[in-house]
């Protein structure tokens, strides 16, 4: 038996009864680091000359097969062996190679498997090409080999969605050859190897299979569909170019074309932004105060208030397996809340988010309403989502304090009230926290975990653990008016209003920001959320408003006419017969003209570039202030807030990452220029000034 050799400890080579088992050992996800690539190169070189080995089985140690290239290496000088060359050497092997997929065989991991001659999956395996989610395309033969196995349509669906598919679907598409009944990759691989040896199976090179067929029309259809959907992201369209090469060029030329496209994506700012988002999503929950802190156990949740937010929060908890008791003030309100929760759960069932059995079990066992707070005596966590009035919140928290068990966590879903003051209404301020959900609460990923002064660290940890349970992204926020997201929103929303007063139309601004990559512009968002929300906020802030602040009145004019947006079929836009796509309203422009007249403003035309620069300068400036004040822990926390809760285009990385991409000196120059017209609104953040003076970036504050 050939002695086992471990190559740079990242890859193990061991021959058993004529089968070379090659094991990647690079926890946690067997990423294709340079050590792994070197180890695989050496292992397959040995396999090629090892007369004891008739066939090779490639597996990943631990929880998954190779989950892709090592994302940490991107942006650094490439090191040999390059992955496409390594995979070509595997494919060129004169003896058969089997890849055994388990866990998540993604990106370069799946591409390595496509370079093998046979692919076996364990039942729980998932495969996918998520490169587009990182601003890339498959860069190691995936765009050339996958279409040869599945055809162009299925290959492009996988590549441009980045969506992983289960073993069953992969088998149906031809990505894999068999699904093993084993649960251990090595056992499964050895059994398959012996099956292939018994049938004298030979090498079967995907790269030598016929090129996939596709028509120019089909490619054009893919391009027009993706142009609409990707909102300015480049990599999905680059996938089409690469697959077109697979269909029209010989394999080697197709590989060259794939490399060209991959390298151009690698160099794009979108790749840097999307990889920043990938790591920020994981770093945002890594806070010093949470290190080693155990969260309290939460299985029974109480919700106070069954309106839009309360019902949405209830459904979010129910879909995640938690038990929910929802309290309303009377039977009528309780039955209305029950109907809302039942409807939302029905929608989740219709969309395939839950099975019929789970849907019925939730309604039968895990959800109930009540009008008596005593029903919450065993709740581990109670989240209030009642009317935004401090008096009402105080009353709720006093009652909760009286009935809830010791150690129960009392959370407020308030979107701007001072949670320190809410906590003061109880005898347990250490157990009080803010859990700010975003509507619709069972859909939006963002959860602001708002931490008042007295809150215990394990209560903060419990907020983050709850977010993980709910499959949400938790961002730690300090207490201020609007916390992180809404505070910054108020500023850039005001900047948009000021631009309207100065000459842009709401429709110009919406168009410019959608071209930048937002799903909706700010005025479309206002129409969706309801103009009455902004109206109430302006009324609330009016008494304490600084006299230097510019406040536009045209939105109030619409509210006075009860034009609150989509819910009244008219706001900034007119929504004909209930459609969700509005059309500009000439009367809105008349109100704006009138207001400019009253203010003596001569309107200035603004092009899209000007609009985006001013809008983003306001967002970045306030974001920097929020970081400087410690309301957000790091710039990445502001980025994650806007990527997961405010529709900021992910391929721009978030406002703070984007600021570094533009360059803080340019941002500061803009701020100082705008401040010449409105020194109060455009006061440049001192943090930006300091970073510019030191030649540093906002990202330098993320570690």
Stretch that binds ligand T1G, among 137-145, 343-351, 437-445, 529-537 (CB under 6 A): 137-145
Task: Please give the C-alpha separations between residue 356 and each of 339, 345, 348, 360, in angstroms, as whole numbers.
Answer: 18, 10, 10, 6
Catalytic-role residue among 8, 73, 80, 131: 131
Residue 420 backbone phi and psi in degrees, to 5: -60, -40
**How near is the Cβ of 636 to ligand T1G at its closest, in Å?**
13
C-alpha–C-alpha distance, residues 119 and 100, integer Å: 6
Among 28, 77, 288, 600, which residue interacts with ligand T1G (rule: CB under 6 A)? 28
Task: Lay out the site mask for ligand T1G across 258-287 (x = CB under 6 A, - = otherwise).
Answer: ------------------------x-----
Among 22, 87, 132, 140, which residue interacts with ligand T1G (rule: CB under 6 A)? 140
- Look at residues 548, 570, 569 and name the one whose alpha carbon lies nearest to residue 557: 570
C-alpha–C-alpha distance, residues 80 and 73, integer Å: 12
**Exposed, middle or buried: residue 572 (CB in 10 Å: 0-12, 13-18, 19+)?**
buried
C-alpha–C-alpha distance, residues 45 and 48, integer Å: 5
Distance of CA 376 to the CA centre of its chain: 34
Stretch that binds ligand T1G, among 106-114, 222-230, 455-463, 651-659 (CB under 6 A): 106-114
Among 87, 112, 132, 134, which residue interacts with ligand T1G (rule: CB under 6 A)? 134
Catalytic-role residue among 111, 448, 524, 622: 111
Task: Please give the C-alpha separations between residue 126 and each of 112, 159, 687, in angstroms, as whole numbers.
Answer: 15, 14, 45
**How near is the Cβ of 483 to ligand T1G at its closest, in Å?**
25
Residue 250 backbone phi and psi in degrees, to 5: -70, 165
Containing 302, the helix (H) or strand (E) segment is: strand 300-304
Containing 12, the helix (H) or strand (E) segment is: strand 11-16
Would you state the structure tokens that stand for residue 634, as one six-digit string?
């790091």
Among 60, 96, 135, 138, which residue interacts with ligand T1G (rule: CB under 6 A)? 138
Query: Is residue 77 a contact partner of residue 210, using CB atoms and an 8 Å limit?
Result: no
Interface with ligand T1G includes 76 (CB under 6 A)?
no
Task: Kindly determine how many residues on this chain lie close enough to bind ligand T1G according to the rule CB under 6 A.
Answer: 24
Residue 587 annotated to the active site: no
End-to-end CA distance of the chain: 49
Stretch that binds ligand T1G, among 69-77, 209-217, 637-645, 685-693 (CB under 6 A): 69-77
**3-class DSSP assignment, residue 660:** helix
State the DSSP code for 59: E
Interface with ligand T1G includes 31 (CB under 6 A)?
yes
Containing 418, the helix (H) or strand (E) segment is: none
Among 107, 207, 521, 534, which residue interacts with ligand T1G (rule: CB under 6 A)? 107
**How near is the Cβ of 130 to ligand T1G at its closest, in Å?**
4
Interface with ligand T1G includes 654 (CB under 6 A)?
no
Interface with ligand T1G includes 69 (CB under 6 A)?
yes
**How near is the Cβ of 386 to ligand T1G at its closest, in Å?**
35
**How near is the Cβ of 106 to ligand T1G at its closest, in Å?**
4
Among 36, 112, 136, 512, which residue interacts with ligand T1G (rule: CB under 6 A)? 136
- Look at residues 374, 528, 516, 505 and name the one whose alpha carbon lies nearest to residue 438: 528
Stretch that binds ligand T1G, among 70-78, 165-173, 183-191, 652-660 (CB under 6 A): 70-78
State the DSSP code for 435: E
- Look at residues 440, 565, 567, 447 and name the one whose alpha carbon lies nearest to residue 510: 565
Residue 131 annotated to the active site: yes
**How near is the Cβ of 468 to ligand T1G at its closest, in Å?**
10
Stretch that binds ligand T1G, among 139-147, 329-337, 389-397, 600-608 (CB under 6 A): 139-147
**In terms of CB distance, is 139 or 654 closer to ligand T1G?**
139
**Sites of contact with ligand T1G (CB under 6 A):** 28-29, 31, 67-72, 83, 104, 106-108, 111, 130-131, 134, 136, 138-140, 142, 282
Catalytic residues: 111, 131
């Amino acid at each position: 038996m050939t002695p086992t050799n471990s190559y740079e400890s990242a890859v193990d080579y061991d021959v058993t009864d004529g089968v070379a088992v090659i094991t990647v050992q690079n926890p946690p996800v067997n990423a294709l680091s340079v050590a792994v690539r070197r180890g695989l190169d050496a292992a397959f070189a040995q396999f090629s000359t090892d007369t004891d080995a008739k066939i090779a089985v490639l597996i990943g140690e631990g929880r998954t097969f190779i989950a892709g290239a090592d994302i940490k290496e991107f942006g650094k000088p490439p090191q040999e062996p390059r992955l496409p060359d390594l995979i070509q050497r595997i494919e060129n092997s004169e003896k058969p190679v089997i890849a055994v997929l388990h866990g998540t065989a993604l990106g370069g991991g799946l591409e390595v498997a496509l370079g093998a001659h046979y692919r076996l999956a364990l039942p729980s395996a998932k495969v996918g090409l998520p490169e587009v989610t990182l601003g890339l395309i498959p860069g190691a033969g995936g765009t050339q080999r996958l279409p040869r196995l599945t055809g162009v349509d299925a290959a492009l669906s996988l590549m441009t969605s980045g969506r992983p598919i289960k073993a069953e679907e992969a088998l149906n598409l031809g990505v894999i050859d068999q699904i093993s009944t084993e649960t251990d990759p090595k056992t499964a691989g050895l059994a398959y190897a012996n099956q292939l040896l018994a049938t004298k199976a030979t090498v079967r090179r995907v790269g030598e299979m016929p090129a996939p067929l596709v028509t120019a029309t089909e490619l054009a259809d893919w391009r027009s569909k993706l142009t609409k959907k990707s909102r300015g992201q480049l990599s999905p369209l680059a996938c089409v170019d690469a697959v077109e090469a697979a269909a029209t060029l010989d394999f080697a030329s197709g590989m060259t074309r794939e490399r060209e496209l991959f390298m151009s994506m690698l160099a794009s700012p979108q790749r840097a932004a999307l990889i920043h988002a990938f790591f920020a999503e994981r770093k945002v929950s890594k806070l010093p105060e949470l290190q080693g802190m155990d969260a309290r156990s939460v299985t029974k949740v109480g919700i106070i208030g069954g309106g839009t937010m309360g019902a949405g929060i209830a459904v979010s908890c129910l879909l995640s397996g938690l038990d929910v008791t929802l309290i309303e003030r009377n039977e009528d309100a309780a039955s209305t809340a029950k109907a809302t929760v039942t409807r939302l759960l029905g929608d989740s069932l219709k969309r395939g988010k839950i099975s019929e059995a789970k849907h019925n079990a939730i309604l039968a066992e895990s959800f109930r309403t009540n009008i008596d707070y005593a029903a919450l005596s065993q709740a581990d966590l109670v989240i209030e989502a009642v009317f935004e009035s401090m008096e009402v919140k105080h009353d709720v928290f006093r009652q909760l304090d009286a009935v809830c068990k010791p150690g129960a966590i009392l959370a407020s879903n308030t979107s701007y009230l001072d949670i320190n003051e809410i906590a003061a209404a109880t005898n347990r301020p250490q157990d009080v926290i803010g859990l700010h959900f975003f509507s619709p609460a069972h859909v939006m990923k963002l959860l602001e975990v708002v931490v008042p002064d007295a809150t215990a660290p394990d209560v903060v940890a419990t907020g983050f653990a709850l977010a993980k349970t709910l499959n949400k992204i938790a961002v730690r926020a300090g207490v201020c008016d609007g916390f992180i997201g809404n505070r910054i929103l108020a500023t850039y929303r005001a900047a948009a209003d000021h631009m309207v007063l100065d000459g842009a139309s709401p429709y110009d601004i919406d168009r410019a920001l959608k071209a930048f990559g937002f799903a909706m512009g700010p005025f479309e968002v206002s129409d969706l959320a309801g103009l009455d929300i902004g109206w109430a906020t302006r009324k609330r802030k009016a008494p304490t408003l600084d006299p230097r602040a510019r406040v536009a009145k045209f939105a109030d004019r619409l509210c006075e006419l009860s034009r609150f947006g989509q819910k009244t079929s008219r706001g900034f836009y007119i929504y004909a017969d209930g459609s969700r796509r509005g059309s500009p309203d000439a009367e809105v422009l008349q109100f704006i003209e009138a207001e400019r007249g009253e203010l003596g403003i001569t309107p200035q035309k603004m092009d899209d570039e000007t609009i985006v620069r001013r809008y983003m300068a306001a967002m970045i400036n306030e974001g920097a202030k929020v970081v400087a004040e410690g309301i957000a822990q790091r710039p990445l926390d502001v980025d994650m807030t806007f990527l997961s809760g405010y529709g900021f285009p992910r391929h721009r990385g978030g406002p703070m990452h984007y600021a570094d991409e533009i360059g803080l000196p340019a941002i500061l120059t803009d701020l100082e220029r705008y401040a010449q017209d409105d020194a109060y609104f455009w006061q440049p953040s001192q943090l930006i000034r300091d970073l510019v003076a030191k030649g540093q970036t906002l990202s330098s504050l993320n570690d």
